Structure 1
Amino acid sequence: MPDETSTRVPVTYAHCEHITGPFFHGTRSALAVGDELVPGRGSNFHEGRVMNHVYFTAVLETAVWGAELATAMAGTGERGRIYVVEPLGPFEDDPNVTDKRFPGNVTESYRSRHPLRVVGEVDDWVGHDPEVLQGMLDNLSRMREQGLDVIED
């Protein structure tokens, strides 16, 4: 099996056309087909922080984590939502996971300064067992305590 980091073509604003999706966005927000996710909104993960990018993924499992963590951190007890989205402009690798936490971009996570249009919703996604989700929340809490939960936005 080839090393993904040596054969992978980085995704940049100038070179993203080779990534075709489908793309997903996990969130706690209720949206409708045709709605747009835009930069300049509050972060799902850092209260009071306004985000300069909109984040998305080509891996459903990554979107599941986004939906579950967003709702768990909000403390709503509700089920998150996963939308199928279409980028309306160029995008790049998410530097928060690409080569920082995972070599290459195995989570196929991206970000854009341009809107994402909601084109559908994934209703039948399966979440993680409560103890697995709690383990992730505990890990994020430890990272926050250590000052390691920095989001490069």
Structure 2
Amino acid sequence: MDAALDEGPFFHGTTADLEVGDLLTPGRRSNYRPEVVMNHVYFTAQRDGAGLAAELAAELRGAGAAPRVYAVEPTGAWEDDPNVTDKKFPGNPTRSYRSAAPLRVVGEVHDWTRLSPEALQAWRDRLSTLLADERAEILN
């Protein structure tokens, strides 16, 4: 992708405890379908979007998994995330991307907006409905 289409900064939400310089690499299990090993690393240009991903990952990982948001930079080519781009939203309003190359952690972000318990429950319900649909798939 041409970086001029979105100059960032970019963010990744996770439960992992990472340090500046660490690389996020493909080959991990999906937070949403653990039977799927991901071929890409996902990121967004929206800090709170990464926060949402972190909070949902924490929910899926269980007790003790703290949601964290990191500022990241792609180390290689990247593209729009086809799981949301045009499939669910025309264009890329979520500014969500993926890369088969690693993402480098450039810092931890602490000023992202946490969801209220009610908003988090609404997202959990939405995700549960989506994952219950046998036709729903992750474009990997």
Normalising by structure 1, what TM-score? 0.86
Change (3 A) 1:132 1:149: farther
Displacement of 1:87 in angstroms is: 0.2
SS at structure 2 position matched to 1:84 = strand
Aligned-partner Cα distance in 2 for 1:115–1:46: 21
Q: Which residue of 1 aligns with 2:110?
A: 123
Partners of 1:44 and 1:70 within 8 A in 2: yes
* Equivalent residues in 2 for 1:90-101, closer than 5 Å: 90-101=77-88
Which runs of structure 1 show a deviation greater than 3 angstroms over 4 or more consecutive aligned residues?
none
The percent identity for this pair of structures is 54
Q: Which residue of 1 aligns with 2:97?
A: 110
Change (3 A) 1:146 1:66: same
Aligned-partner Cα distance in 2 for 1:148–1:98: 18
Aligned-partner Cα distance in 1 for 2:130–2:122: 12
Aligned-partner Cα distance in 2 for 1:152–1:100: 10
* Equivalent residues in 2 for 1:14-93, closer than 5 Å: 15-18=1-4, 19-93=6-80
Cα distance per residue 1:4-55 (max 9 Å; x no partner): xxxxxxxxxxx32212110000011111100000011122222232100000
Aligned-partner Cα distance in 2 for 1:30–1:102: 31
Normalising by structure 2, what TM-score? 0.93
Which sections of structure 1, spanning at least 5 residues, go unmatched?
Answer: 1-14
Aligned-partner Cα distance in 2 for 1:147–1:95: 19
Change (3 A) 1:103 1:148: same
